[in-house]
Amino acid sequence: MQKKNIDWANLSFGYQPTDFRFEARWKDGKWDEGKLTDNPNIELSEAACVFHYAQCCFEGLKAYETEKGEIVTFRPEENGKRMFNTAKRLEMPSFPVEKFVKAVEDVVRANAAWVPPHGTGATLYIRPVMIGSGPQIGVAPAHEFIFRIFVMPVGSYFKGAVKPIKLKVAEYDRAAPHGTGNIKAGLNYAMSLYPTMEAHREGYAENVYLDPATRTFVEETGGTNIMFVDKEGTIVIPSSTSILPSITRRSLVEVARDILGYKVEERPVRFDEIKDMQEMAVIGTAAVLAPVGMVHSKDGDIYLPTGMDKIGPVSAKLRETLTGIQMGDIEDVKGWVHKIDLNK
């Protein structure tokens, strides 16, 4: 297999059409078999439910090339489970997990030439998406749906991802109490676009959102979960019913507890606790783990003791271990790595 002629080391985190994508359609109460297609475009009715009532959900995962030249993905069944539950909450037809994993395999295999070589720091980002495609003018779920998976080679989500970033506390809420903050719905991200661009215009990488009920507790950013390390070296993960259950977060917790031997607490974290933390990071599929050096709020700036020059020692160890497992450089004792058979 001949790799594409790409400057792998200087890729941005952006869309680039590749050779194939998978598409399945739901109609008359069932999914069709689905197939690979080379058409990057979707034709929709002007009355498609997704345009009017935001009936849309998506996932994000990655494929990697190991030092041995194998192509692997990381816990794709967990993304399938999360999308299954998200679809149920949005009155969309859940796509079976086993078919989800097979579709991921088929798309990655078909685009193997686009998987960045081992050691370049780049990955193949995999984007499953489901939309209400059927025409729907009354406020109700669509009667037809499209499920699609497409892929693209990407670089780091945050430029210089191991160098600390600056965040600001958003004056807006990302999700409503008892709303959809705990599922990967497109509408949650639409809510964060204006605050995100406002943060960028002010020189910050992202926003920190507080709990929508009391604005007292730390929740997450517009696109990632959050992690802290306290003065005792305990890893502290904010918990809430409106935080998205990140697969990267769950994996980092298991790496910390079971592989590296750290103490981990998953609990509500008050915003006023940040000033006493030793390390802070944003975590997610796209970012993996990016350290935070400063958080701006209306009451002033909070600088983490690790500073703005380098990643903290605990965060560095966590990131190094998780990416090592994903890339095949560290033994996968958890059985998380999913090998793609290129001979099928």
Q: Which residues are catalytic?
A: 184
Full DSSP string of 176-212: -TTSSTTS-BHHHHHHHHHHHHHHHHTT-SEEEPBPT
Is 321 in contact with 291 (CB distance < 8 Å)?
Answer: no
**Measured between alpha carbons, how far is 118 from 292 in angstroms, rounded to an integer?**
27
Q: Of 274, 212, 201, which Cα lies nearest the Cα of 240?
A: 212
**What distance in Å separates the CA atoms of residue 117 and residue 71, rounded to the nearest whole number?**
10
Q: Do β-strands 225-229 and 145-154 pair in parallel, antiparallel, or remain unpaired?
A: unpaired
Of 245, 240, 235, 247, give the one whose Cα is nearest residue 317.
235
Report, in angstroms and rounded to the nearest whole number, the Rg of the chain calculated over CA atoms. 20
Tokens representing 81 are 């489970």
Distance CA 63, CA 316 (A): 22
What is the C-alpha to C-alpha distance for residues 24 and 325, in angstroms, rounded to an integer? 32
Compute how many other C-beta atoms are within 10 angstroms of the C-beta atom of residue 145.
Answer: 24
DSSP 17: -
Q: Which long-range contacts (CB under 8 A, 24 or more apart) does 110-114 make?
A: 110/19, 110/20, 110/36, 111/18, 111/19, 111/20, 111/151, 112/1, 112/71, 112/340, 112/342, 113/1, 113/2, 113/3, 113/4, 113/19, 114/4, 114/18, 114/19, 114/151, 114/152, 114/153
> Which tokens in the block code for residue 179?
């709303």
What type of residue sits at position 286? A
